[in-house]
Amino acid sequence: MSTQAEETRLARIAHLRRQQPRPKFLYLSLLAIMLAGGWAWTAGDLYPSVLTDSQRSANLERFIGKLTPAPVRASGDWSDFRPWAMELLIEGEALKAVGMTLALATAAAALSGFFALLFIPGAARNLSAPRPLGITGGRSAFPLIWGIIHKVIRLAFVFTRSLPEYILGFLLISILGPDPWALVLALAIHNFGILGRLGSEVVENAPPRPARTVIAHGGGRLGAYLTAILPESFNRMIVYFFYRWETCVREATVLGMLGVISLGFLITNAKAARSFDQMVFFVLLGALIVLAGDLLSLLVRRWLRVER
Amino acid sequence: MMLASTYRHYLGSRRATLLAITLAALASFWVLGLNPLRLFSGNNLTLTGDFLLSAFRPALDYQKPVEGAEPFLLTVINTTLRTLRFALLAMSVAIPCGALLALLASTAWWPDIRRHRMLGWVLRPFCLASRVVMAFARSIHELIWGLLFITAMGLSTDAAIIAVAIPYSGILAKIYSEMFEEHSREAQRALRAIGAGSIAAFLTGLLPRALPDLITYTFYRLECAVRTAAVFGFVGIETIGYRIKLASDEFHYREIWTYLYVLFALIIIIEWWSRALRKRMGA
């Protein structure tokens, strides 16, 4: 009896195993990724380095030797660190650069959020349709136009997202000159694409009933968006906004390298002057701001998630 | 109590949040001295117009061909492949490192530490340490890591890859560990209840559920890695950014647009692939 039970059990397992879905696409993707990885590792150097190993270790030694703050190196006493740091912060304009970095991120996030909000209803599949939210009775003179609007805005979102902030910043500075506008717009254009896409997904996933009611009572798409959908999904939108603000702060520390006062600017200057102690000080200051930004964003998001 | 409710009435959390954001934005505009009028001054408009008009005519050949140079389209293809390779190299280092850090930082695979107190004392420091490493790695931008490595050792392929892999591991680890914690633990608990070990229950009860999200996020990071690879052209590696910089120095806007469209195409392909995978994983 027991052997028979065992046999049926094994047969059942074999049957289940045969029934297991084996999607070809997943396996092919895995294979493709493996091949791509193998190619990446074996196709030779990306950058033919001209330095020999001994030059490299000499470089490293010089760098590490200059890492401790200059006055501490001279006196061997870490109590000299505080006046040195204070001087960098105030006279070295590090505090100003911190403020500029945060301002860049905030201005850019707000700008991109504002414009994303304007374009989101056009990109959301449920609103940008001849019959918004599946409500019958609405009649559109050109039913096809909604599909076109939706596709064009979506494509614009992907396109702006595909442009890296740093390259945008570089191009905008070559057009506008060294103006903070260039950096703000660079951050804003890239994040416009991301916030727009995330936002239109939020709108598509919002509960349709309140919006349907608005439309059934004679409201338009915009009315439904402003009075029913936005209030409903406000918290989710704000969560995304803060998530992007956080990445803007991180990105803004770097954009200064392009030549407008912010931490990146001070870092490249210190590097050019070979004051590696100052360079590392500014880098760590930047890390501190990014962490503070993360923390603030985390607190706000948690607060919004609890609040109803 | 009364006061709090009246205050609530006039300034609910929504209005307060919007007001705070608007005020912060206005303050930032003021600090930066952003004047919208300045955007339209000088020859900003004509230059912007020139640049945007070039979008309709991306270059298929050098705008000023030089005898004996590599054909333009060949350069474009080589540059694209190099960009893609850089991204793949960085990701192939960042994914395993990030996954390892994420496992160390998450409690989802832990055995019941109320019963194995000793084990809890062993695991906790690792958890804390990996969280600190994650936060630190993430908080310094990849370009700054790159700059540090270049100043310390000089530019090389390995230095550039590691510079990108460090922050990317941190970010991947953070998101992976959040995904481990956020997914529903029901299947995992059921498996535990019928006698599965904690690691087996994690691998079979939780990981398959989180997998579509993990893959989607990893693909998004690959997309970011492609953009970062492009940006590393400004450091000296001959990726898309390097070509854009060269073309921009000579005001060859149409060549710039060719490269921007290539970047766009790469991002669209990655996004399409990620979506197709997700759909077939039944998520």
Please state the separation of Cα B106 from the chain's center in Å. Answer: 21
Per-residue pLDDT tens over the stretch A204-250: 988 888 888 888 888 888 888 999 999 888 888 888 998 899 899 99
Determine the average pLDDT of the residues in B183-193. 86
Answer for the pair A173, A182: CB distance below 8 angstroms, yes or no. yes
Dihedral angle of Cα B51, B54, B55, B60, to the nearest 10 degrees: -140
A271:B152 CB<8 A: no
Query: How far, in Å, CA of B51 to CA of B55, rounded?
Result: 7
Query: How far, in Å, CA of B216 to CA of B218, rounded?
Result: 6
How many H-runs (helices) and E-runs (strands) does chain B carry?
12, 0
Element containing residue B81 per DSSP (H, E): helix B72-105
Largest CA distance in chain A: 90
- Find the CB nearest B148 among A56, A159, A283: A283
Answer for the pair B76, B259: CB distance below 8 angstroms, yes or no. yes
What is the fold, at CATH topology level, of the domain defined by A90-306? MetI-like fold (1.10.3720)
Q: How near does any CA of chain A get to the CA of B72, in Å? A: 20
3-state secondary structure of A260: coil
Look at B246 and A74; give whichever has higher pLDDT.
B246
Answer for the pair A187, A108: CB distance below 8 angstroms, yes or no. yes
Kindly list the residues from chain B whose CB atom is less than 8 angstroms away from the CB atom of residue A46: 82, 85-86, 89, 157, 160, 237-238
Determine the average pLDDT of the residues in A193-199. 95
Per-residue pLDDT tens over the stretch B104-147: 998 888 887 778 888 888 888 998 999 999 999 999 999 999 99
| Res A306 pLDDT > 60 | no
Answer for the pair B141, A246: CB distance below 8 angstroms, yes or no. no
Model's pTM, two decimal places? 0.89
CA angle, residues A116, A99, A269, in degrees to nearest 5: 110
Give the CA count within 13 Å in the CB-facing half-sphere of B166: 20
Kindly list the residues from chain A whose CB atom is less than 8 angstroms away from the CB atom of residue B173: none
Residue A297: closest CA among B21, B25, B248: B21
Kindly list the residues from chain B whose CB atom is less than 8 angstroms away from the CB atom of residue A99: 31
DSSP output for B152-166: HH---HHHHHHHHHH
Per-chain mean pLDDT for chain B: 88
Query: How far, in Å, CA of B279 to CA of A168, rounded?
Result: 33
Could you report the predicted ipTM of this complex, rounded to two decimals? 0.89
Residue with tokens 């209803």, as numbered in its chain: A121
Of the residues A46, A233, A285, the best mutation for testing chain B's interface (the one with the most B CB atoms within 10 Å of its CB) is A46
Task: Say how many CB pairs under 8 Å bridge A and B.
Answer: 188
Residue A170: closest CA among B35, B52, B241, B226: B241
In chain B, the domains with their CATH numbers are 72-280 (1.10.3720.10)
Kindly list the residues from chain A whose CB atom is less than 8 angstroms away from the CB atom of residue B152: 59-60, 63-64
User: Phi and psi of A275, rounded to 5°?
Assistant: -90, 85
